[in-house]
Chain A
Amino acid sequence: MTAPTAAEAAPPPAARAAAARSPWVSFLLRRLAGLVAVLVTLVVGTFLIVQLIPGDPARTIAGSNATPERIEQLRTQLGLDQPLWTQFTDYAGGVLRGDLGTSFANGQPVTQIIGDRLPFTAELALIAIVLVLLVSVPFGMAVAVACRGGRRRPLDTGFSAVTALAGAIPEYVLGTVLVLAFAITFKVFPAAGAASLGALVLPVLAISVGPICTMARIVRRETAAVLEQDYLRTARGRRLRAVRLYARHALPNLMTSTLTLGGLILSGLLGGTVVVEIVFAWPGLGTAVVNAITSRDYPVIQGVVLVLGLLATLLNLLVDIVLGLLDPRTLNGKAGSA
């Protein structure tokens, strides 16, 4: 038995293993595997959409007035007369080749429809996300720092009240009100369509205000928690100026817990985008999928759901990468966000 030294001569085993191989490599490998798993789930899930329709899918799709010939035609067209496994392989094969089928409504290839509309949706969603982060983080932090230790109670209460109220307003309601106020009453921005750059303003606002408020509350809470931590006291002991103290020592830590919780909100933004598109007649995926549901245009539904799912997953991956950059401990954690 080797001569014992102080028990802590070597760093703990986990740290040794991590130091040996860059944690980013294993993290990215795991997430890649996760991405593939999600893709498989999405393909299977969207495939099942048609299969799970109660009753006879062909009849439901054709509508109540359809002739039996039409129903049979639809059945063959959808491949519903084939065995289940064949249907699946056809579908999955198509997805992998980039062929998502053809729309019932207008005969266009679904891929083209999505290709035309995706940029509009992505535009809204991405601008909204950036806006949410840029506004809610400084806002929440400022309130937390200003109100720490029970200071300025009125500000704290006011903040909670305003964010609660504004956060309770659904996007479609806010969109409606914004249209009324700025497009109809004060004709500042267009009420519908994506014609100009100015047309972006109202929809983005409608999508963002709720999440800004919710995120600001989370940021405020997490900042308050970070301010109580021992390492903040150590940093205070170095008598740094306030800006440096909070920006360098509080911000990275609070972003970790904020993004962990807020990641959900950010991917929920996609859902909000979908609904707001209807209010503003925005030519994105949202209007496409809602119209498709009403007209039972299943290939479009399947295609859009698939693409939106991929988008949401990529968004989560992005959040986790940012998290990993901020706090390397999260890299060794579970594959999904905490």
Chain B
Amino acid sequence: MTEPILSVQRLNVVFGRQHVLRDVSVDLPAGRTLGLVGESGSGKSTLAKAVVGLVRPASGRILLDGHDVSPKARRRVQMIPQDPYASLNPRMTVGQALAEAVDPRRGSVREHRQRVGELLGMVALDASAADRYPSEFSGGQRQRVAIARALAVKPDLIIADEVTSALDTSVQAEVLNVLRSLRAELSLTMLFISHDLAVVRHVCDRVAVLYRGEIVENTSRERLFARPEHDYTRLLLDSVPDGRPFVADRTDR
């Protein structure tokens, strides 16, 4: 069996006196999308930051394609952050931001215009977007630019951290579709973090559930939604409003 692209082994992260991640172990094979589900305080964002190198673990290993994560390997993992209004430098055009991603040393739009146009096309944005500033775009469009930027470096692994949480339903659908098609076209390996189980169901083939820093369930999408094993997973699934009435006596209203 080939090496998984990402292998987290018994990871522990401590902030001060808070044990944020406890003995977390998870593997992500190439070309797969793993959904990481949890509520606030579960540690899912911390896990993403640890994989990317923004947070130092207390113990445990993070292996990227078999090797420990190192500063040199920075560009091999890219993260798409949650807030579409903070993820782009307001004083750089979209084209400049993408050109910088393509070539961090000489990010000139002119030199890289063709590649920038390609990237924009991949996320269903017009090439003319390159000359505009982030403030001229909607939240969903900015998220797509952030995705294009992450793709620019042709990373081994993409981490999407609550990328649709700040978006309206219709816009969210666009972004999710872009992620789906990219996943198919480029065989992307993706770690998809979200608190929204319905969204995770649409994007991921495996799902891991985090509760208070521990992984309580890690299984295929079908099994998780049809036959959840852990109590917390069941609690989560029961809590999701799915159009059915909360309380029995309202069914016939």
| Contact call A7/B41, Cβ cutoff below 8 A | yes
Interface assignment of A4: CB less than 8 Å from any CB of chain B: yes
How many residue pairs at the A-B interface have CB separations less than 8 Å?
A: 15
Bound complex: CA A13 to CA B213 (Å): 14
Does any Cβ of B come within 8 Å of A1's Cβ?
A: yes
**CA–CA, A7 and B41, complex, Å:** 8
**Beta-carbon contacts under 8 Å, A1-43 to B:** 1, 3-4, 7, 12-13
Residue-wise, chain B 223-253 has the 8 Å CB interface mask toward A (1 for contact) of 0000000011001000000000000000000
- Check if B216 is an interface residue, CB within 8 A of chain A: yes
Residues on B with beta carbons closer than 8 Å to the beta carbon of A13 = 17-18
B211 within 8 A of A: yes
List the A side residues contacting B42 at CB < 8 Å.
7
- Name the residue of chain A whose CB is nearest to the CB of B216: A1
Task: Decide if A1 touches B214 in the complex (CB within 8 Å).
Answer: yes
Q: Of all chain B residues, which has the CB nearest A4?
A: B232
Q: Which residues of A contact B214 (CB under 8 A)?
A: 1
Whether B231 and A4, one on each chain, are in contact in the complex, defined by CB atoms closer than 8 angstroms, is: yes
B2: CB under 8 A from chain A?
no
Cβ of B41: which chain A residues have Cβ within 8 Å of it?
7, 12
Residues of A within 8 A of B216 (CB): 1
Residues of B within 8 A of A3 (CB): 231
Interface string of A142-180 (1 = CB under 8 A from B): 000000000000000000000000000000000000000
User: Which of B18, B40, B211 contacts A4, CB < 8 Å?
Assistant: B211
Contact (Cβ within 8 A) B39 A7:
yes
Q: CA of A4 to CA of B232 in the docked complex: distance in angstroms?
A: 6
Chain A proximity of B249: nearest CB distance (Å) = 23
Residue of B nearest to A13 (CB): B18
Closest to B239 in A: A6
| Docked pose: A3 CA to B231 CA in angstroms | 7
With A1-B214, A1-B216, A13-B18 known as contacts, the answer to whether A7 contacts B231 (CB < 8 A) is no
Residues of B within 8 A of A (CB): 17-18, 39-42, 211-212, 214, 216, 231-232, 235
5 contacts between A and B (CB under 8 A): A1-B214, A4-B211, A4-B231, A7-B40, A13-B17
Known: A3-B231, A4-B231, A13-B17. 8 other contacts (CB 8 A): A4-B211, A4-B232, A4-B235, A7-B41, A7-B42, A7-B212, A12-B41, A13-B18
